Amino acid sequence: MRDPRPATRLDVELASRVRAVILDVDGVMTDGGILIGATASGERIEMKRFHVEDGLGIHLLKEAGVEPVVVTGRESDAVRFRAEELGIVECHQDREARKLDIVARLIERRGWRWEELAFLADDLPDLAVLRKVGLPAAVANAVPEVRAMVRWVGRRPGGEGAVREFVEALLTARDGWRSHAEGYVASRSGAR
């Protein structure tokens, strides 16, 4: 269920520094539910439900020159498939949820700085990274410990368009949401 209160507004200066948005998966890109089953031959199958609005939000984020990054504490083919589908190059899954180490290595390899990163999160494994990034953010269903320390809290829960809501807030603060949204519409309507 959506929070009826308006989402927190983003500071323009803070938003303009962001070069990459780190996304948690379970509880952020999904509702946190995990469907686990097996084929007749015993092969394990795990499925997750992703929201289509988040996919378009990620597309517009990339169009704006901001890189989406997935960092999750659970390994899943479903996450890898979704990242590939969305063209997310940096998709990191670590079943021990050592997210801080992953992001530190990314910073070193990509030449980013902590203050240039945003992280959209929901739960305790995210706290170490949230404490270091320039723009810590939370979805509406985030635990109290996460909500208490972030700079932005959305109205939408994970798996219900929360990523799209954050992207819209980020690009609006950067004065680019409307132009990117209209550019997308024009590109899909045959307008040249």
Q: What is the CATH number of domain 28-188?
A: 3.40.50.1000
- In this prediction, residue 134 carries a pLDDT of 97
List beta partners, residue 118: 21, 135
Question: What is the average per-residue pLDDT within 178-190?
Answer: 85
- In this prediction, residue 2 carries a pLDDT of 54
Cα–Cα distance between 44 and 77 in angstroms, integer? 11
Q: If pLDDT is split at 50, 70 and 90, which confidence band does 184 have? A: confident
Closest CA to 138 of 151, 67, 129: 151
- Paired tokens of 145: 């410990």
Q: Does residue 110 carry a pLDDT above 60? A: yes
- In this prediction, residue 182 carries a pLDDT of 87
Q: Does residue 79 carry a pLDDT above 80? A: yes
Neighbours of 105 (CB within 10 A): 11
- Paired tokens of 169: 């807030």
- In this prediction, residue 75 carries a pLDDT of 92
- In this prediction, residue 3 carries a pLDDT of 53
CB contact at 8 A, 28 and 139: yes
The pLDDT tens digits for 20-46 are: 999 999 999 999 999 999 999 999 888
| Domain residue ranges in the chain | 28-188
List beta partners, residue 135: 118
More confident position, 8 or 24: 24
CB contact at 8 A, 47 and 78: yes
Cα–Cα distance between 123 and 127 in angstroms, integer? 7
Beta-carbon-side half-sphere exposure of residue 105 (alpha carbons within 13 Å): 10
Q: What is the chain's mean pLDDT, rounded?
A: 93
Q: If pLDDT is split at 50, 70 and 90, which confidence band does 135 have? A: very high
The H or E element that residue 184 is part of is helix 177-188
Cα–Cα distance between 48 and 82 in angstroms, integer? 10
